[in-house]
Amino acid sequence: MGHTCFWLKIGAIAVFCLLNIYLFVISCGISYQYAMAQEQIRFREQMPTMDSWVNSPFGKLKSYLFNVTNGAEFLSGRDSKIKLQQIGPIVYKITGYNNVLNRTESSVTYRKHRYRHIEFVPEESVSPDILNKTIVQFNSFLMGAAAKYSQIPFTSMGFNALTLGEQVFMPGSVYYFLWEFTRPALELFGKMMPLATNCGTLYNALKEKKEVYTVNIGNEPGMDNFFRIQNLNGELKIEERVKDNPRNLDESCPIYVANTLDNSLYPPFLTRNASLNILATESCRVLPLRYQRDQVHDGMNAYRFALLQANETAPTCMDTTYGVKLPRGMFDVSKCVINDAPSAFSMPHFYGSSYDWRQHFEGLDPNAEQHEPFVLLEPTMGIPINEKYRFQSNTPLPDFNNYSNKLAKLSNMIVPIFWYEFDMDHLPGYVLHMMRFNVNWLPRLQPYLMALQLLCALWCLLSLARRCSRSHSYGQLYRKLCGAPDVQLETILNPKPQHEPKLNTELALK
């Protein structure tokens, strides 16, 4: 019995010893952070970050409309410019959902439901009853149709007759313009043609689109290719842009989805000059991210990447909207919105655009702080920790001089319709803790853990040696190993050992 116990102990200690030596040797060759990243890119369901990814994107959608406060004065010619009053934020809480359809060692396919839950947040909006407030808007149906058909000769007469009853500026509730904006003439057309008849801005912006992504995961594609897209809906190009003009699209047109990212996760160990392009599905294009600066958020260092650049020239395939050449800092999205209505995106308030809006409007205040879109990426793990995703939708108008007087006044304007900001919520606490541990603590902890492994291994070795040599103490082991000098030392230090007589008596008693 005692014997078995002895060998069991020896066995256990030997295993522990080997384990520590093994761990130590492995740790010499790899950083723990890198090992964690390798685990992360396998994208297993048990990962703590998984739950937060599945229920993403999550955050607040803040939309802003522009109330026209001098419509009558402008049309009568008393005012030469249109006065705009920004109305907002009108805040909705958004929770998305990523439904994993297929998973292999090297890829995962999922369908993104971006706007699965949408809920109005009255207390964070500009006023709780903002949806019931009355505002005055451009008649975007009238403007859009006029712009679209102005290129076709001799339509103006018929158009003027058809739209006689349409006003240029219309009053209505905020709710109406966001969610159920429609016009009798539009409904009439809708009965004859396949036209979407609800022009509500949010209704259309938040409509479900089919987004099925296949992305790289795992160690075979490699860390640098983690979560880079293989295809979208099984296609390599963004379909909306291809459908009416497949020949016009050369390589310079940013619609090729391969190796772009969906802005939910990024490869680990990002550098500031990393080549990162995201698929901006709301504008049907690929957007390059540009590093701007380092920024601290939620106690973590992050790289700030801008989505749009001030004064950037649009790619050739997106620089014109129905014959209107766009100024810098804007790009065409007509193929991406309902009824192919004329529209172009810019940064809010025309920030970073060469459009001279001051000749047509008053009341805008473009600035980087409120209007520049960006994402903050934690570089070690490649996780977005904050983002402000901002776009303004505009209707670029051509020369309207062949139309009615009221429309002619709007010639060559680029009319801001609304803008929105998707503001990512803070990451859940446990994800933040895990990230902080991985980013800040793990590299510092590694030397200590390795020292501990080494100590454990040494102690186990010694313990094994002692037990195998049947020594009762390490002193005895030492004496056994080194022999005489030790005894001498003990005699010198202890000329009259006190315990010896006691030991003798004990022995005598026995």
Q: Which residues bind ligand NAG (CB under 6 A)?
A: 67, 69, 87, 102, 104, 129, 132-136, 150, 153-154, 271, 273, 275, 310-311, 352, 354, 399, 401-402
Work out whether strand 344-346 and strand 383-396 pair parallel, antiparallel, or are unpaired: antiparallel
In angstroms, what is the minimal distance from the CB of 310 to ligand NAG?
3
Q: What's the rounded Cα separation, in Å, for the pair 54 and 45?
A: 10
**Type of residue numbered 189:** F
**Type of residue numbered 482:** C
What the block records as the tokens of 80 is 């030469």
Closest chain position to ligand NAG (CB) = 310
Q: In terms of CB distance, is 368 or 487 closer to ligand NAG? A: 368
In angstroms, what is the minimal distance from the CB of 3 to ligand NAG?
57
Q: What's the rounded Cα separation, in Å, for the pair 35 and 29?
A: 11
Q: In terms of CB distance, is 125 or 453 closer to ligand NAG? A: 125
Q: What's the rounded Cα separation, in Å, for the pair 61 and 70?
A: 29
In angstroms, what is the minimal distance from the CB of 50 to ligand NAG?
19
In angstroms, what is the minimal distance from the CB of 20 to ligand NAG?
37
Q: In terms of CB distance, is 12 or 101 closer to ligand NAG? A: 101
- Name which of 170, 208, 165, 200 is nearest 182 in CA terms: 200
Cis status of the peptide bond prior to 57, with omega within 30 of 0:
yes
Q: In terms of CB distance, is 310 or 465 closer to ligand NAG? A: 310
Q: In terms of CB distance, is 133 or 480 closer to ligand NAG? A: 133
Q: In terms of CB distance, is 85 or 197 closer to ligand NAG? A: 85
Burial label for 203, CB within 10 Å (0-12, 13-18, 19+), is: middle
Are the C-beta atoms of residues 209 and 96 closer than 8 Å to each other? Answer: no
Work out whether strand 229-232 and strand 212-216 pair parallel, antiparallel, or are unpaired: antiparallel
Collapsed DSSP state (helix, strand, coil) of residue 459: helix
- Name which of 297, 301, 215, 222 is nearest 258 in CA terms: 215
In angstroms, what is the minimal distance from the CB of 23 to ligand NAG?
32
Q: In terms of CB distance, is 20 or 86 closer to ligand NAG? A: 86
In angstroms, what is the minimal distance from the CB of 199 to ligand NAG?
19
In angstroms, what is the minimal distance from the CB of 150 to ligand NAG?
6
